[in-house]
Structure 1
């Protein structure tokens, strides 16, 4: 079993997923071409997500809204801590014998130990590594389901706001020019950030400053 999630976007939720496979069936993941979800197109993720769900023993996913991500400061918790809590929640729900995790901390061993303290049972193995989604197909499988679920949410938001006359919001990532242009347009018109934007992200803060207060980005960095 592996929990995994994508967490870099400025628009949309964080999706955490865990998936369980019988050890005797793990070879199936390589057979169908499961690999790092970041290297796959949305169409390929959609196809693989369906195959993975049909073949696995069980899976679970959690959608963490932009508002919940922003509210983590109220609970004095960083994003890694929030992710850790969600990982533990899914592991406790699925209760696999062996757990593979993509470490959400610079210290993979520390991440493993902190997760272990949050579990209500003791797995036979708890494995935490950096870049686990590149090295273990089971971790890639969880990441594919998580990214596909997020893809569907973003597609729904894109279609909704295109129909309302807004520009294409893109992928939701700060590196996407469509996403930045959408945020600028929204804030210029609505005088606030959208509810599905992560307001604690520097990208959102800078655009709010620029569009609402006419402050140059250079001013923002010089303060």
Structure 2
């Protein structure tokens, strides 16, 4: 029996919180189309929350949470694109093992991947290099908008990350009661939160990607202000 598999990430770019990679596998995408599954970024949070359990109930799936600390460590030796390939391959291996346990042959699985690389085929080749040259992998930009099975994986990834960010906000706001925002550096709430945190505590909060330019700049500015005060 043939299967289709979709894989996507949520949270590649934020300065706070993890990146989450999710993959989903099903015989076809009819159920997802009937549900109204589409790119998670085009859905309201409540719509994603409503769809996520339905998706989980009608497919096999695998999820990997990559904490901020792990991203910082891995970025010392690899780019984000390479890290994403590694995590995608890890999640797909887990999912393919689940499918094998159900009697499916990995060679009968067509994988649709959302490509972070500017070169779509290069990303597919990198995945094949890690999973097996015989694997059928279709890598596309905006795959979450093109293939319902990738949209399903995207919704699982996004709702998982959203829940984790809410937990992080609860943890951090116990020390400083300001809204955390989405965790993205372009979010004014997130920017204000980090600026105030560094101002009060002299360092970045936990769950922050310290290797991100936004985070590095805040710490550098704090150190420069201390030095200016010492020299004046």
Partners of 1:2 and 1:139 within 8 A in 2? yes
- Aligned partner of 2:185 in structure 1 is 174
Partners of 1:187 and 1:212 within 8 A in 2? no
Matches within 5 A, 1:111-126: 111-119=123-131, 122-123=134-135, 125-126=136-137
- Aligned partner of 1:211 in structure 2 is 222
Task: State the distance in 1 between where 2:146 and 2:173 align.
Answer: 38
The Cα RMSD (Å) is 1.6
Shift of 1:121: 7.6
Task: State the distance in 2 between where 1:192 and 1:164 align.
Answer: 13
SS at match of 1:128: strand
SS at match of 1:99: strand
Partners of 2:19 and 2:68 within 8 A in 1? yes
Shift of 1:163: 3.1
Say if 2:153 is the partner of 1:142.
yes
- Aligned partner of 2:212 in structure 1 is 201
Task: State the distance in 1 between where 2:177 and 2:198 align.
Answer: 11
Task: State the distance in 2 between where 1:43 and 1:212 align.
Answer: 42
- Aligned partner of 1:86 in structure 2 is 87
Greater C-alpha radius of gyration? 2
- Aligned partner of 1:129 in structure 2 is 140
Query: What's the CA shift string for 1:91-141, capped at 9, x where partnerless?
Result: 112125110001121111111111101015833x21111111111111111
- Aligned partner of 2:19 in structure 1 is 14
Shift of 1:174: 1.3
Query: What's the CA shift string for 1:17-72, capped at 9, x where partnerless?
Result: 0011112xx1111111111111112221111111100111x101000011111112
Task: State the distance in 2 between where 1:93 and 1:179 align.
Answer: 34
Task: State the distance in 2 between where 1:9 and 1:42 align.
Answer: 17
TM-score (norm 1): 0.89
User: Which of 38, 43, 48 is 1:40 aligned to?
Assistant: 43
- Aligned partner of 1:101 in structure 2 is 113
- Aligned partner of 2:63 in structure 1 is 61
Number of matched residues?
A: 210
Shift of 1:206: 1.8
SS at match of 1:195: coil
Task: State the distance in 2 between where 1:210 and 1:43 align.
Answer: 38
Runs of 5+ in structure 2 lacking a partner? 97-105, 227-232
Task: State the distance in 1 between where 2:67 and 2:118 align.
Answer: 24
Say if 2:53 is the partner of 1:50.
yes
Runs of 5+ in structure 1 lacking a partner? 216-223
Query: What's the CA shift string for 1:161-183, capped at 9, x where partnerless?
Result: 23333311111011211101110
